[in-house]
Chains A and B, each alone.
Chain A
Amino acid sequence: MPASEGWRVGGIVDGESARPARTIEEAAAAVPEGATVRLSLPVNAVLMERMRLPSTDREELGGMVVLQLEKSMPDTGDEVTSGFEIIRQEANDSELLAIAVSNEQLDSLCEPLRASRGLPDEVSVFAVQFAARFPDEETLALIFRESDSTILAIAQKGKLVAAQTCLTTDREEFLTELPRLLLAAELEGAPVNFSRVAIERELSGWVDGLRAQFGITPVDRVATDGPLERGPVNLVPAGWTLEQEQLARKARMRDWLALAGLIYLLLLLLAAGYIIWMQRQVGAVDAKAVAAAPAVDAIAQHKARWSALAPAMDPAQFTVEILLQAYKSIPPAEPGNPASDLHITIFSQTPAQFMLEGEAPNGNMVIQYENALQANPNLKDYHFEPATMENLPNEHVHFRIFGKL
C-alpha cells in the first residue's frame, strides 16, 4: 500500500506491523515467499471520476462507465481496467465513483512483483480502502500522505466520493492549497460540509492549521496502517488473470513433473534395490554352500570310495545276482507258463557293465525282455542301451543287450 515514505508491505492483519519500502522493488522483495499479494494503489496512479448515470443495474452501469471513461482517457477500453463504487442510488439513476487505471502503467508498476513473487491477486485503491474504515461517518475529510503528495479524500458512510491530490508534503503549502482542493471537490459534486476531519497521525503538526481552516469541525488524528478490508473495486487487468491462469497451469505442470520425477526415482531405487536384494540372495546361498563345502567334500569322498568298492561290497553288482535278475526278467512264452523261448547264450561282465547275448523267437520278445530288465528294481543302477538284433536263418533273432553303470 502507498505510504509517506513510498510503500508499506504487510500490516493488514491484526497484530502484524507493516514494513516500509522506499521503492516498489524493495516492496516486492519484502513480500514473503508464497504470500498472496494485494496491491493498494495511490490516488495519483488512477483516474477517479464522479458520474451520475441513468440506470440502477450494475451490468448496465459497468458498460456506461467504460464508455464515459473512454471519453475522458487517452487509452482505449482494452488498455485500461476500470471499476466503480456506487455512492448513492435513486429510483432511476445512480451516482458513482468510477476508477480507472492504465494497464501499461500497472504492468510497469508491478514488473518487480511479477519478476519476484508473482502478480497481485487484487489491485485496489488505498483511499477507497481507507475510507471504508469509517462507515459511520456522515461526511468525513481524510488527509494523508502518499509518497510526495498529500491526499484530501472525502468519504460518506465509508464510501469514497472524491479524492484530490496536492503535490506537496509541506504543511504550509498544503494549507495554502486546501481551499482550492475543497473547491475542486465541490465542483465535482462532492460534499464539503464535513462532520469530522481525520488526519494521518504522523501529521500532528498540521492539526492547528487545519482547525483554523475548518472552524468548529473536529479534527482528529488517525492511523493509516492497520488492517485493511478488501476494496469494493478490483482493478486486476483481464490479461493478468490469463497470465495467472497460465502461471498456475505451469505450476501444476511443474508439480506433476516433480511427482512423475519422484515416482521415476522411486522406481529406479526399487529396481536397484531388487538387484541388490537378488545379489544378496545369491551371496547368502553361496555363503551357506561355502560353509557346508568341507562336510560335503568329505561325504563326496566317502561316496566315491563306496562306489569304487561297490563291485566287492554291493551284492546288487555281484555276478551271481546279475545272472539271477537277468534270468528272472526273461518273459514267459505264454502267461502262466514259466518256460520261455528266449535263451541267453553268452554272459559277460566287468565292474562297469554287463552284456547279455542270446536268441529269441522274435524281436518283440527281445524288446519285452529289455523292458523287463529296465523295470527290474534290482538292476536300477544300470542303464540299458537299445538292444542290437539280427535275424537268424531259423527265423529267430540273435540279440545283444548292454547294461552299464
Chain B
Amino acid sequence: MKMSPRERKLAIAMGAIVLVFANLLLMAAFSRKSAALRADLADRRATWANMQDLLGEEGMWAARDAAIDVKQPRLANESAAGVDLLNVVRVMARQHNVTLENEVFGGLEKSQWYRSVPVMMDTHSSWPDLVAFLYQLQKPDQFMVCESVNISVDPSDQTKMLGHFKIARWYAP
C-alpha cells in the first residue's frame, strides 16, 4: 500500500516521537544502572581498602594474639582462684597502707575470650596510697582487671578516699 505524502509525514513524525521516547527510556535505564554500579563499585572499593588496611596489620595482630596465648594465665583450680586473688590483693593493700573492708568472693564468669574470677571489696586510704596500690595492681602481664570501680572523697575526712572495687583476674577460657 502506497502512502500519501501527508500519511508519510504523519508516519515519520510518529516514528520520531516513538524513537525519542524509547531513547529517553533507554537513557534513563542506562543512567540508573550506571549510577547503581558506580555506587556499588565505590562501596566495594571502600570495603576493599579497609580490608587492605587490616591485611597490612596482619603481622601486628598475629603477634598480639600469640602474646595473649603465651601470657594469659590458665585456671588450674576454680575454687582456689578467688582466694589466691584476694590474698594477692591483700598483700598489695598492706604494702600501700590501704585498708580493705567487706571482702566478698564473686562467682566465676565465662565469656568467649576469658573466664573471670572476681572479688569485691571496699577500701579506705589516702589518695597517694590508693594510686600506688592501683599502680601495682594492674600490670599488662597480670591480667588483673578492675571490672567495677567507684572512688569518692570520704565525707568524714576530706584527706581520705573511699573506694568500692570489683577486681578480677581474667583466665584463658
Residue numbers of A with Cβ under 8 A of B are 268, 271, 274-275, 278-279, 281-282, 285-286, 288-289, 292, 295-296, 299-300, 302-306, 308-309, 311-315, 318-320, 323-324, 345-351, 354
Contacts and interface: CB of A to CB of B under 8 A. Distances in A.
B143 A299 contact: no
Contact of A302 (B64, B72, B138): B64
Given A289-B51, A299-B57, A308-B112, A313 B140 contact: yes
Interface residues of B, number: 47
Interface string B131-172: 100110110101111111111110000000000000000100
Contact of B153 (A292, A304, A306, A345): A345
Nearest to A322: B149
24 contacts: A275-B33, A275-B34, A282-B40, A282-B44, A285-B48, A286-B44, A296-B51, A302-B64, A302-B65, A303-B61, A306-B64, A309-B113, A311-B147, A312-B170, A313-B68, A315-B140, A318-B134, A319-B138, A320-B138, A323-B151, A345-B153, A347-B150, A348-B148, A348-B150
Contacts of B147: 311, 350-351
Interface in B66-96: 68, 71-72
Contacts of B170: 309, 312
Given A309-B143, A347-B150, 11 more contacts: A275-B37, A285-B45, A296-B51, A299-B62, A303-B54, A306-B65, A308-B114, A311-B147, A312-B145, A313-B140, A320-B138
A278 B38 contact: yes
Contacts of B41: 278, 281-282, 285
A372 to B, nearest CB: 20
A185 B155 CA distance: 153
B114 A274 contact: no
A179 B131 CA distance: 151
B111 interface: yes
A385 B57 CA distance: 30
Nearest to A327: B131
A354 B37 CA distance: 45
Contacts of A304: 113
Interface of B is mostly: helix
A304 B114 CA distance: 12
Contacts of A303: 54, 61
A313 B71 CA distance: 10
Given A282-B44, A345-B152, A348-B150, A323 B51 contact: no
Given A278-B41, A295-B55, A313-B68, A348 B61 contact: no
B58 interface: yes
Nearest to B116: A312
Which of A281, A308, A318, A347 is most buried by chain B, counting CB atoms within 10 A of its CB?
Answer: A318
Contacts of A302: 61-62, 64-65
A346 B143 contact: no
B61 A288 contact: no
Contacts of B34: 274-275, 278
